[in-house]
Structures are given as C-alpha cells and as structure tokens.
Amino acid sequence: MKARVQRDLRLPASWAGPFLMPLFLSLFMSGLVSMIATIQAIGISDGLIATWGRAWAASWMVAFPALMLALPLVRRLVAIICRPE
C-alpha cells in the first residue's frame, strides 16, 4: 500500500496581514452595510437579494481598494495610541 503524500494548499502566513485580512474584512463590512442600506431603501421585498447583490458588488469594489490605501495610516495611528509591551 502506497502512502499518500498530502500537499498543504494553504497560503503562506505572510499573506494574512497585508492581503487576506483586508480582503475578508472588506467583503464582510461592505456586505453588511450594503444590506442595511438596501433594506432601508427598498424594504424587504421580492427583489431584495438581487438588488443587494448588485449594491454589494459595487460597494466592495470601492471598499477593498480604500481599505488597502487606508491600512498603513490606520496601523500608524494604532502604533501612536498604543504603548508597546
């Protein structure tokens, strides 16, 4: 019986901070905010999911690049207000 070689398909940990965390954060936050805005605009109706999906896609296309641009500034501000341990 042959031993199966299992490859680790996960991404390197070095991708977590600069890319993956902003990616997932922007997906989550833009989805949540666009859902709230869509419900306030059209109410809970038949076209809600389709309308929200379009709004989410449009808002994410703005949110992700904005987050990537703002992240260095936010890190510096956090470093200023937090004392090193």
Amino acid letter for position 12 = P
pLDDT in the model for residue 1:
64
Report residue 77 as tokens. 């501000």
pLDDT in the model for residue 60:
97
pLDDT in the model for residue 3:
72
pTM above 0.85, yes or no: no
| pLDDT at residue 52 is higher than 80 | yes
d(CA 38, CA 81): 36
What Cα–Cα distance (Å) separates residue 64 from each residue in 13, 69, 84? 20, 9, 29
Mean pLDDT of 44-59: 96
Report residue 53 as tokens. 């999906």
